[in-house]
Amino acid sequence: MGTSINDPNEIRDTDVVFDCPYCSKSLAIDVRGSGLVIACPDCGEQVQVPIPEGLEIADLDVATGDEGVRIIHLRELLLSAQLRVRELEEELEGLRQRRDMLEQLRAENTVRYDVLGRELDNIQRSLGRIGEVVASATETARRVSGIVEPV
Ligand SMILES: [Zn+2]
């Protein structure tokens, strides 16, 4: 297994780059060294090589040569696809919330129209009653005046 620590100036595609938790030195190591405990070349402390996100330790067992590089690249593709899916899910969730908000708004407006409709009905009925009262008062006034001032 190639677990030798590489020169950070020659970082390869398949290297894991991380800082030593003890001395903060930037370390680069072949991805196949992920999960292994190594001695930091700078401070000598025992540090565990991190496992890159999206990579599984089981991949590393079979990750040899070109096949390993292919698996690592497929993992990267998978990870970016998963990130894209997550983004789309968030976008979808945002759209759902917007739809729900609009539906709620529409429902509220319907209620508002409903209330308005009922108020208009009430007003209409009131106007009708007022009309009847006015008509009856006019009739009464006409009859009264007919009595008082015969036509
Ligand atoms: Zn160190």
Distance 32 CA to ligand 1 centre (A): 20
Distance 6 CA to ligand 1 centre (A): 14
| Average pLDDT value for residue range 11-16 | 78
Alpha helix locations (H) across 11-64? 57-62
Per-residue confidence (pLDDT) for residue 1, from 0 to 100: 43
Mean of per-residue pLDDT scores for the chain: 76
What is the pTM assigned to this prediction? 0.38
Instruction: Measure the CA–CA gap between 5 and 28, rounded to whole angstroms.
Output: 6
Residue ranges of domains in the chain: 5-88
Distance 37 CA to ligand 1 centre (A): 12
For residues 29 and 7, is the Cβ–Cβ distance under 8 A? Answer: no
Which band of pLDDT confidence, cut at 50, 70 and 90, is reported for residue 2?
very low
Percentage of the chain with pLDDT > 70? 69
Q: Report angle CA 106, 112, 114 to the nearest 5 degrees.
A: 105
Which band of pLDDT confidence, cut at 50, 70 and 90, is reported for residue 146?
low
